[in-house]
Amino acid sequence: MNFRVAMIEYSCESNTFTIKRTGLQRFHASRYYTGSEICEKMRDTGSEIAGCIDVADANSWELVPIVAAQAAPGGAVTEEARKAITNDVLKRLKKADPFDGIFIAFHGAMVTESAQDGETQFLVALRNLIGRKVPIAVTFDLHANIFDEMSMLVDIAVSYRTYPHIDMRELGREACELLQRAMAGEIEPQVAVTRPPMLVGCDDGRTTKDGPMCRILELAEREMAKSGILNVAVNAGFTDADVFAAGPSVLVTYDAKSVPHREALAAAERVCGRVWDYRMEWAVPMALESCIEELESHTPDGDPVIVADFSDNPGSGAYGDCTAVLAALLNASLEDAALGALYDPEAAHSLAKAGIGAERTLSIGGKTDPGVGGGPIQVTGTVIAVSDGSFVHEGPMYTGLPGWLGTCVCLRVQGIDILIVSENVQMFDQNIFRAVGIEPAEKSIVVVKSMQHFRGAFEPIAAKVLVTDAGGLCTPNVTARQYRNIRRPVFPLDAFDG
Give the pLDDT confidence of 334-365 residue by residue, as tens digits.
999 999 999 999 999 999 999 999 999 999 99
H-type helices in 64-158, by residue range? 79-96, 118-130, 148-153
Phi/psi at 275 (5° precision): -60, -45
> Could you give the 3-state DSSP secondary structure of residue 268?
helix
Rounded to an integer, what distance in angstroms lies between the CA atom of residue 244 and that of residue 174? 29
Give 300's pLDDT tier (boundaries 50, 70, 90). confident
d(CA 206, CA 476): 14
Confidence of residue 209 (pLDDT cuts 50, 70, 90): confident
pLDDT score at 385: 98
pLDDT at 466 over 60: yes
Q: Give the Cα separation of 67 and 304 in Å (integer).
A: 41
* pLDDT mean over 247-273: 98
CA atoms of 123 and 231, how far apart (whole Å): 21
Nearest-CA neighbor of 391 among 425, 347, 344, 345?
Answer: 425
pLDDT of residue 395: 81
495 class by beta-carbon count within 10 Å (0-12 exposed, 13-18 middle, 19+ buried): exposed
Containing 158, the helix (H) or strand (E) segment is: strand 156-159
Tell me the C-alpha distance between 245 and 41, whole Å.
Answer: 34
Q: Which long-range contacts (CB under 8 A, 24 or more apart) does 434-439 make?
A: 434/391, 435/387, 435/389, 435/390, 435/391, 435/405, 435/408, 436/384, 436/385, 436/386, 436/387, 436/408, 436/409, 436/410, 437/384, 437/385, 437/410, 438/338, 438/340, 438/385, 438/410
Q: What is the pLDDT of residue 480?
A: 86
Q: Which helix (H) or strand (E) holds 37?
A: helix 36-42
Q: Which helix (H) or strand (E) holds 239?
A: none
367 contact partners, CB below 8 Å, separation of at least 6: 321, 344, 346, 375, 376
Confidence of residue 498 (pLDDT cuts 50, 70, 90): low
- Amino acid residing at 391: F
* Backbone φ and ψ of 367, nearest 5°: -95, -20
Q: Phi first, then psi: what are they for 80, rounded to 5°?
A: -60, -45
pTM value?
Answer: 0.93
List the chain domain ranges. Answer: 4-277, 286-475
Beta bridge partners of 381: 360
What residues contact 145, with CB distance under 8 A and at least 6 apart?
108, 109, 117, 235, 237, 238, 241, 243, 245, 246, 247, 249
* Residue 495, pLDDT score: 92
With H, G, I as helix, E, B as strand and everything else as coil, classify residue 498.
Answer: coil
Type of residue at 42: M
Task: Yes or no: say if 118 and 14 are a contact pair by the CB < 8 Å rule.
Answer: yes
What residues does 413 pair with on adjacent strands? 416
The Cα–Cα gap between 24 and 34 comes to 15
**Separation in Å, CA 299 to CA 302, 307, 473:** 9, 15, 32
- Provide the pLDDT for residue 497: 77
pLDDT score, position 282: 84
User: DSSP 3-state assignment of 360?
Assistant: strand
pLDDT at residue number 115: 98
Cα(130)–Cα(118) distance, integer angstroms: 19
| Distance set, CA 105 to CA 154, 163, 331 (Å) | 12, 17, 45
Condensed to tens digits (0 to 9), the pLDDT of residues 164-205 reads: 999 999 999 999 999 999 999 999 999 999 999 999 999 999
Q: In percent, how much of the chain has pLDDT > 90? A: 96
Give the residue-averaged pLDDT of 19-30. 96
Distance of alpha carbon 389 from alpha carbon 1, whole angstroms: 46
CB–CB of 283/256 below 8 Å? no
* Cα-based torsion angle of the residue sequence 344, 347, 353, 356 in order, rounded to the nearest 10 degrees: -90
Q: If you average pLDDT over every residue of the chain, what do you get?
A: 96
* pLDDT average, residue stretch 364-383: 96
What is the rounded average pLDDT of the residues 371-392?
96
pLDDT tens digits for 398-426?
Answer: 999 999 999 999 999 999 999 999 999 99
Going by C-alpha positions, the residue among 330, 212, 346, 350 that lies closest to residue 276 is: 212
DSSP characters for 367-423? -S-TTSS---EEEEEEEEEEE--EEE--SSSSTT-EEE--SEEEEEETTEEEEEESS
